[in-house]
Amino acid sequence: MNKNVQTCAQLINESNNITVLSGAGLSTKAGIPDFRGPDGIYNKIKIKNPENIFDIFYFYNEPSLFYKFHKEFLKNITNANPTFTHNFFVDLENKNKLNGIITQNIDSLHQKAGNKKVNEIHGGIWDNYCIECNKHYSYESIIKLLDKNEIAKCDICNSVIKPDIVFFGEQVKNFEYCRDLVEECDLLIIVGSSLSVVPASLLPYYCNSDIIIVNKGDIFFDYIPQDNLLIYENNDIDSFFVQVKKYCE
């Protein structure tokens, strides 16, 4: 038996104010590729600088690169269902153990699973707006526009529409509130993130309590307070939490 499983369950059982920091690795089992994992977008898309897809300055000059990717991404999201671990976090909220979820994901799977205390630090796909006249568009209307066009453009002024996702070069959402969630929690669980996107990756630095990391593959440890790191499980997230749940009260 993996000792980390038992320790993780024990920490969860003893905690009443858990903060979760999630990343793209949490949703790969739902069929949504991450960025930097072995089957991630950066490895699969054969272009020179895949970071440009989400670069705000690149987007303003050449939105077609982003929309080529986004069209496929929206199809994946529409068909995706929450994973075992998304549902495990719903249980934590139902048991009043959850302080909040900070997610770097834009797929809304935490909300689809039933979590209410979700903070999308990198925004989401549900709201979209014209970069010129600010008319807002729903997710459904963007899907319709992309059925017929390569780029989603405004029906009033013909300018480009941008989803309310935080691109590289833009400010993240509610950083101070997310920092408070990390500062005040009695257990921080980090899942499925390479912790390589600043400033979200800085958040663990503010943690005063125990930290659990479950992530398969390389991560950046630079902002993890080492004395607080009780568990680093380099494993598949669902396989780990399926075991943990057996020991949770």
- The distance of closest approach from Cβ of residue 233 to ligand CNA in the complex, given in angstroms and rounded to an integer, is 9
* Interface with ligand CNA, residue 106, by CB under 6 A: yes
Choice from 35, 66, 88, 241 touching ligand CNA (CB under 6 A): 35
* Interface with ligand CNA, residue 128, by CB under 6 A: no
- The distance of closest approach from Cβ of residue 205 to ligand CNA in the complex, given in angstroms and rounded to an integer, is 16
Which residues between 170 and 209 bind ligand CNA (CB under 6 A)?
Answer: 192-194, 196-197
* Interface with ligand CNA, residue 122, by CB under 6 A: yes
Closest CA to 146 of 77, 46, 50: 77
- The distance of closest approach from Cβ of residue 210 to ligand CNA in the complex, given in angstroms and rounded to an integer, is 20
* Interface with ligand CNA, residue 23, by CB under 6 A: yes
Span from 3-11, 62-70, 105-113, 151-159 in contact with ligand CNA (CB under 6 A): 105-113
* Interface with ligand CNA, residue 4, by CB under 6 A: no
What would the two tokens of residue 59 be?
Answer: 């987007």
**Cβ distance 188 to 100 under 8 Å?**
no
Nearer Cβ to ligand CNA (124/154):
124
**Could you tell me the CA-to-CA distances from 115 to 11, 62, 82, 121, 219 in Å, in that order?**
21, 36, 11, 15, 26
Closest CA to 249 of 15, 1, 90: 15
* Interface with ligand CNA, residue 15, by CB under 6 A: no
Closest CA to 172 of 136, 202, 192, 193: 202
Nearer Cβ to ligand CNA (141/239):
239
- The distance of closest approach from Cβ of residue 6 to ligand CNA in the complex, given in angstroms and rounded to an integer, is 19
Q: Which phi-psi region, left, alpha or beta, contains residue 187 (left: φ > 0; alpha: ψ -120 to 50)?
A: beta
Tell me the H-state helices in 62-199: 63-79, 84-94, 109-113, 139-148, 175-184
Length of the chain: 249
* Interface with ligand CNA, residue 107, by CB under 6 A: yes
* Interface with ligand CNA, residue 217, by CB under 6 A: yes
Closest CA to 219 of 142, 98, 104: 104
Active site residue 110: no
Tell me the H-state helices in the chain: 3-14, 41-44, 56-61, 63-79, 84-94, 109-113, 139-148, 175-184, 237-246
Residues lying near ligand CNA in the complex (CB under 6 A): 23-25, 27-29, 32, 34-37, 40, 104-107, 122, 192-194, 196-197, 215-217, 219, 236-237
The catalytic site residues sit at: 122
